[in-house]
Amino acid sequence: MQQAVAAFLEHLKHHRRVSPHTLKAYAQDLGLLQAFAVAKAHPAAGDVKALNLMLLRAFVASRHGQDQATTQARRLSALKSFCRFCQRTGRMEDNPALQLAGPKKPKSIPKALSVDEAFAAVTAPSGEDVLRVRDRALLEMLYGSGLRVAELCALDVGDVDVGSRTVRVLGKGNKQRVVPVGEKCLVALQQWFPLRAPLARGTDALFLNHRGGRLTTRSVARHLARYGENVGVRGRLHPHRMRHSFATHLLEGGADLRSIQELLGHQSLSTTQRYTRVDLDHLMRVYDAAHPHARG
């Protein structure tokens, strides 16, 4: 099994080109499966062909109460993808994971910031300090372009086209998209560029840490939480909440879901529908303005 897992992870990395986060999560999931098989002295620990539905169900049951529904769903996805890979490559004759049923994911509504909260958070880094100038630029880009935090940290200087006011983003599944950059973000970037140059140490990364290396997602999350506390944002301010706010404020401003889907880089429109926060008052305003029989 160990060899099969290693081959599967190599396939994900080099052929499927999944994100480092997904690769790490799948490696952890399959590592837990291997450890479970060893602990049970199951033949599958030594021969992946012995992997069967009974062992998979026992493994899933052993995680009950330890994982949230979203983690359980991802773990099942890892098991199914692994078994499908093994069957396709001749390591297994059948796919026992096909009969595994997963938990229903809770459909929670994202808690977007109010417009005032978003403006306060974005303008929280003030002054001429190098890192505050950097933070102002990255906050403007998170809120103004709706990027995922991993997409933001992966940006290089050459990805920003000042002339066309766009940024080229490498999203999930190694798919590229081009999204607009707001005027305020461009101003903040032009203030950051001359301060960035002395920090850079042979890297093209757009956003750098104080040592001159590429800024990490964890650092961005830590900085945002601090700025959120400073300006009194209700609840914890994290990068994905800025993305929620970007989508919600676009929708409330009259943008259609299809356009928001393109900007966010969602493959499915249903994802965008769950992602955006549509309140009843907004729906009624749209209905009253658009439908000929809305008003008597």
Question: What CATH number corresponds to the domain at position 194?
Answer: 1.10.443.10
**120/262 same-domain check:** yes
User: Which CATH number characterizes residue 36's domain?
Assistant: 1.10.150.130
Q: Is 282 a catalytic residue?
A: no
189 lies in some domain: yes
Structure tokens at 97: 């994971």
**70/119 same-domain check:** no
Locus of tokens 């993808």: 81
**63/141 same-domain check:** no
**162/23 same-domain check:** no
**254/127 same-domain check:** yes
**130/249 same-domain check:** yes
147 lies in some domain: yes
pLDDT at 20 over 60: yes
Q: Is 172 a catalytic residue?
A: yes
Helix locations, the chain, DSSP H: 2-11, 20-39, 53-62, 69-88, 115-122, 130-145, 149-153, 183-199, 217-231, 239-252, 257-264, 269-275, 280-290
197 lies in some domain: yes
- Which of 16, 172, 274, 282 is labelled catalytic? 172
Q: What pLDDT score does 278 carry?
A: 55
Structure tokens at 116: 């005032």
Pick the last residue of a domain from 73, 99, 125: 99
DSSP state of 172: G
- Per-residue pLDDT averaged across 51-79, rounded? 87
293 lies in some domain: no
Q: Is 295 a catalytic residue?
A: no
Distance, in Å, from the CA atom of 79 to the CA atom of 53, rounded to the nearest integer, reads 11
Distance, in Å, from the CA atom of 27 to the CA atom of 177, rounded to the nearest integer, reads 28
pLDDT in tens, 236-292: 999 999 998 998 888 888 888 888 888 888 888 777 776 665 555 666 676 777 777
pLDDT at 101 over 60: yes
- Which of 148, 196, 223, 249 is labelled catalytic? 148
Q: Is 266 a catalytic residue?
A: yes
123 lies in some domain: yes
Q: What pLDDT score does 90 carry?
A: 94
109 lies in some domain: no
In terms of pTM, does the model score above 0.75? Answer: no
* Mean pLDDT, rounded, of the chain: 88
- Say how many domains are in the chain: 2
**193/139 same-domain check:** yes
DSSP state of 42: -
Pick the last residue of a domain from 40, 64, 99: 99
Rg, C-alpha atoms of the chain = 23
Q: Is 275 a catalytic residue?
A: yes
Q: Is 238 a catalytic residue?
A: no
Domain extent for 34:
2-99
Q: What pLDDT score does 281 carry?
A: 62
292 lies in some domain: no
